[in-house]
Amino acid sequence: MRDFLAEAVPGYPGPHERTLQRNIKKLYANKLFELREKLKNV
């Protein structure tokens, strides 16, 4: 991601690695919950 941002927006350092990890964990938990809710009726 760092290489992409260096090309796309020179000088922009981008979010910290921990911020990305935290956001991905939240997204994963939300999608997992949604999937479990959908599969309850199966």
Say if CB 1 and CB 20 are below 8 A apart: yes
Number of domains in the chain: 1
In a domain, 10, yes or no: no
pTM greater than the 0.85 cutoff: no
What pLDDT score does 9 carry? 93
Phi/psi for 11 (5° steps) reads: 90, -15
Q: Could you tell me if residue 39 is inside a domain?
A: yes
pLDDT of residue 42: 84
2 lies in some domain: no
pLDDT in tens, 1-42: 888 988 999 999 999 999 999 999 999 999 999 999 999 988
Instruction: Classify residue 9: in a domain, yes or no.
Output: no
pLDDT at residue number 2: 83
Query: What pLDDT shows up at residue 40?
Result: 94
Tell me if 32 is assigned to some domain. Answer: yes
Structural domain span for residue 21: 15-42
Please give the structure tokens belonging to residue 1.
């991601």
